[in-house]
Amino acid sequence: MRTINGEDVTRAVAGCVAALRPAADRDWTAVKAGRVELSCHGTAFHIAECCLGYAANLAGRAQDAYVPFEATLDEGTDNAGLLHVIEAAGALLAAAVDTAPPGVRAFHPYPFRSADRHGFAAMGIAETLLHTHDIAQGLGLPYEPPADLAESVLTWIFPQVKPGSEPWPTLLWATGRGELPGRAPVTEWRWRNNLVIPADRVTLTGLRPAVARDLRLGGDGGLDWIEGGPYEGTRGAAGMLVKAYEAGVHRPEFGVFALVRHEDGRAIGGIGFHGAPNEEGWVEVGYDLAEGARGQGYATEALRTLADWALARDDVSMVIATVEHANVPSQRVASRAGFTRATVEEERIAHAEHGMEDGLQLYVRRA
């Protein structure tokens, strides 16, 4: 698949500079930028600050806070100089994105305190597109970015937003800058980088809608899979994620995760939730491995880690897994991960109220 990358950052910055350069001779400090509180000048400098800060965190592998420095403009810098600063900061972010190894993550506060290279690219693009829109609105300039850039931002860091008929209006609506028919105005918003949960030998890496869509269509999702992967269960789970995203009901923290092996960075399987917790606090999990990774304890490790993560939350009271009667290896995985066979009453409820199919055994871990 084509992942979001440094070239996309460069395209976004080039579009920004091209849109704003015709007004470089105007006083940007005297004009408010759209709906934001900053002036057009302050907002333009904010674009540069964001790209530079993201580049520094990613290149410097910051883990607990932003790299401690502050950018300033030389006294007397005019708007043409400011646009040059934006270009330079964008180039630094693009280079940091394209040279970062696949598994590297660095600090960003929301929502899970880290982002990978794709997340930093998407955040830099989002800041550039949206604030160029704000400045252009304030200065009365025309501006509309390429639709594929807006779509990339949505599918990489706005997984909770139901897609609209066109990506740019949808992104403007999702960030409180526009309206969409049939949707309430947005007054508060945040983008969402993907969740990663480390285990001993693997990392559970949350799949974004863009990645899940590629897996559903038969691609590799931008991951380096061992032979035989991804297995059919992972592709099916990716399809469920895409359906939830398209319906606007996807909760990213209760999505699907690729299992990425620490020793070589290769994906060996998938694990994830069948949806968000129900009213009783039950949440169902499923898992599979490529054949070459089976029998080595990876599934047990991943299932135990994901269950521990879920049961530490206030909205989860029980993690459940359904296993076919004949699938003894999967039953053993569940048992080794701390699950036990459900009670007769729990299985009755699962059949009667939650649609559990006949021929399945219910395994549970309680909070």
- What's the confidence (pLDDT) of residue 358? 77
The highest-level CATH class for domain 196-366 is alpha beta
Q: Following DSSP, what letter does each residue of 215-274 receive, concatenated?
A: HHTTS-TT--BPTT-S-HHHHHHHHHHHHHHHHT---GGGSEEEEEETTT--EEEEEEES
Confidence at residue 357, expressed as pLDDT on a 0 to 100 scale: 79
117 close to 26: Cβ distance less than 8 angstroms: no
Instruction: Give me the residues paired with residue 39 across strands.
Output: 32
Q: Which CATH architecture has domain 6-174?
A: Up-down Bundle (1.20)
pLDDT score of 356: 76
pLDDT at 158: 98
pLDDT recorded at residue 22: 98
Asked if the domains at 6-174 and 196-366 fall in one CATH topology, the answer is no
Q: Are 86 and 51 in contact (CB under 8 A)?
A: yes
Residue 320 one-letter amino acid? I
CA 101 to CA 242: how far, in whole Å? 27
Q: Which residues contact 112 (CB under 8 A, 6 or more apart)?
A: 193, 194, 195, 196
Question: Tens digit of pLDDT for each residue in 47-80?
Answer: 999 999 999 999 999 999 999 999 999 999 999 9
State the number of CA atoms in the 13 A half-sphere of 114 facing the CB: 15
pTM of the model: 0.95
State the Cα angle at 153 between 155 and 44, rounded to 5°: 170
Exposed/middle/buried for 312, CB within 10 Å: 0-12, 13-18, 19+? exposed
Cis peptide bond N-terminal to 230, omega within 30: yes
pLDDT value of residue 1: 73
d(CA 282, CA 320): 7
CB crowding 107-119: b at 16 or more within 10 Å, else e = bbeeebebbbbbb
User: Which tens digit of pLDDT belongs to each residue from 297-310?
Assistant: 999 999 999 999 99
Torsion sign (Cα): 12, 14, 19, 25: positive
Give me the residue spans of the domains in the chain. Answer: 6-174, 196-366
Q: Which residues of the chain have pLDDT under 70?
A: none
Question: So what's the pLDDT on residue 311?
Answer: 98
